[in-house]
Structure 1
Amino acid sequence: MRETPEEIAGLQALLDASLAGSTAHLRSVYSDRTITAAQLASVLTGMCTLALSTVTAKGEPRISAVDGHFLHAEWYFGTARTAAKARHLAARPAASVAHLRGDDLGVFVHGTAAVVEPGSEGWPELLAYLRDFYGHDAFDWENEVVYYRLLPHWMTVYAPDLTKLI
């Protein structure tokens, strides 16, 4: 868990506001089946496969899988610079991600994807984390891949039984 107390507090505020502003149906399903921000951060460690949704130039949705890393209470993910999703996000950075673990966990986020690259804030720490996780020479970090930070504006968590997650 790499989150500061301030990041956990911000994440909790986002989770609370998102659920409170959701439809009656979603609140009826999630209200008693969710976990706190601190619990979520302790569960989302290592690489978590994300279903990433982007939008084409024609406004058509596209979904694909990416390696997700939950760091500082936000999702980070990467792809090849030549991938269709990279083109979509460059033109239309609105994105949604979902991380699912059967019926035990569902994390759903809507936000804006921001590029994190050499020279940008947070890049040195992210690069150190990624090199530690994947290996120092796993990629040409500056030319082959592009990494994004999902700046969330809505996030909910479905987790009916925390004991199944820890």
Structure 2
Amino acid sequence: MRESTEELTELQALLDASLTRSTAHLRSIIDSERSLTAEQLTRVLTGMCTLALSTVTATGEPRISGADGHFLHGAWHFGTARTAAKAKHLAARPVASVAHMRGEELGVFTHGRVEVLNPAHGDPDPAWPELLAYFKDFYGDDAFDWDNDIVYYRLRPHWMTAYAPDPAKIAAAS
């Protein structure tokens, strides 16, 4: 868990507001008894979490692909090749949805705006040095040409919910 007290408070407010703004149908499935708190969520989402990442083409068609997701500081972080179709989609339309699911035990669904952490040209995000150190530690220092081959994103969520039929069980397993 890398979140500060302030980040946990903001994440909890987002989770609460997202559920409140959701449809009655979704609230019939995900309620306070079948959801995780911000603190539980950050303890569960450690290391690499496989994401289903959804972007949109220039003609408005949805595209879904897989991505290595890392939940850090209350937001998803993921990367791809600078030449990948999803990188082109995100450059033109910097919004995305992601889902992380673990069978029937956990479902985390997020919609938001993406920010490039390490642009090919220009200054990197102020958080990039810390995040780069994390990614190099996770993948290996020489796994990629970190400056040229890959682009990393932060998905700033504006809506997020976490479904767990047994929150205590999933939280205890982490």
TM-score range for the pair, normalised by the shorter chain length: over 0.9
1:64 is matched with 65
Match for residue 131 of structure 2 among 120, 126, 129: 126
1:152 is matched with 157
1:85 is matched with 86
1:13 is matched with 13
Give 1:86-101 correspondences, 5 Å limit: 86-101=87-102
Q: Distance in 1 between matches of 2:159 and 2:134?
A: 26
- Secondary structure of the equivalent of 1:2? coil
Unaligned runs of 5+ in 1: none
Does structure 1 retain, via aligned residues, the 8 Å contact 2:44–2:170? no
The amino acid that maps onto 2:11 is L
- Secondary structure of the equivalent of 2:155? strand
The amino acid that maps onto 1:46 is G
Aligned length: 166
Aligned residues: percent identity?
A: 69
Q: Distance in 1 between matches of 2:162 and 2:134?
A: 25
- Secondary structure of the equivalent of 2:134? helix
Return structure 1 stretches of 4+ with deviation > 3 angstroms: none
Q: Distance in 2 between matches of 1:140 and 1:35?
A: 37
Does structure 1 retain, via aligned residues, the 8 Å contact 2:19–2:161? yes
1:3 is matched with 3
Does structure 1 retain, via aligned residues, the 8 Å contact 2:113–2:155? yes
Offset of residue 120 of structure 1: 1.8
Q: Distance in 2 between matches of 1:119 and 1:90?
A: 15
Q: CA RMSD, aligned part only?
A: 0.9
Give 1:136-151 correspondences, 5 Å limit: 136-151=141-156
Offset of residue 18 of structure 1: 0.2
Does structure 1 retain, via aligned residues, the 8 Å contact 2:48–2:69? yes
Offset of residue 94 of structure 1: 1.0
- Secondary structure of the equivalent of 2:71? strand
The amino acid that maps onto 2:55 is T
